[in-house]
Amino acid sequence: MIASGWTLRRTGSLVERNARIYRRSLSPVLASLLEPLLYLLSIGFGVGTLVGKVPGIDVRYAAFVAPAILATTAMNAAFNQMTFVVFTRMKTDRTYDAIVPTPLSIADIALGEVASAVLSSLLPSIGFVLVMLALGLVVSPGILLAIPAALLVGYAFGGAGLAVTTYLRDFSDFQLIQLVMLPMFLFATTFYPLSVYPGWARPVVEILPLYQSIQLLREPALGIFHWDIAVAVLYLLAVGSFGLALATRRLTRQLLA
């Protein structure tokens, strides 16, 4: 009989399984941290020498960019695990085919993978905050909220990533993902404020999940506390929950067909 619903114990067993796999090597964590560090050094400090302080905020450009790169780090860590890793388990390793006959339900699998994605965003996020501290880019005690905020970003993109993965047909489809992820990274105010956009373009940028993620991390990190932080929290919770629900429904059809 196939299990239904989910329980903390069953879901935790899948999270534990994934953790046992990743604890054998620090390479994924180091790789997740290297790319954002290069962006911070090359653009945050490199371009920052030309920019100086960000107009209207009066902080160094590197300090303005750093929280956005942190949000991107959490996004990439969670989303990459939910796409490439989970797709490999589905299509190549057939891991879930072996799990389905066990007491774990499809909901346990979906929630366990998303929880694993959230945890995978934790260590790179902590590492990047320590880098910010070492480079003198911490300008407000609000940076303490960066880690729980990064976990929420991981949940949003973990749920969304799992849902996207259920639609992938083969490895060539990953190129389509990059057609979305790369422009979002470039235009979601990672490297400049929303005010540089014309009025008609701002609502388009504001609905991007990465923009809301950046707002959630950047504003407290710069000592800015505004009602739009609550909007970002609700938005990211909705994105993650909708993605998780959609992925669970589609995985049920695919694994039990």
pLDDT digits (tens, 9 = 90+) for 230-251: 999 999 999 999 999 999 999 9
pLDDT at 2 over 50: no
Confidence (pTM): 0.91
**What share of the chain has pLDDT > 90, as a percent?**
53
* Mean pLDDT taken over the chain: 89
pLDDT recorded at residue 257: 66
Instruction: Pick the more confident residue, 205 or 100.
Output: 205
152-191 residue pLDDT tens: 999 999 999 999 999 998 888 888 998 999 999 999 999 9
Of the candidates 255, 254, 244, the one whose C-alpha atom is nearest the C-alpha of residue 161 is 244
Of the candidates 177, 166, 28, 6, the one whose C-alpha atom is nearest the C-alpha of residue 86 is 166
Q: Are 184 and 210 in contact (CB under 8 A)?
A: yes
Helices (H), ranges, the chain? 8-22, 27-39, 48-51, 61-80, 86-87, 95-99, 106-120, 122-134, 146-165, 174-187, 202-206, 209-221, 228-255
pLDDT recorded at residue 19: 81
pLDDT recorded at residue 97: 87
pLDDT at 141 over 50: yes
What is the average per-residue pLDDT within 23-43? 78
- State both tokens at 49: 């020498």
125-135 residue pLDDT tens: 998 999 999 99
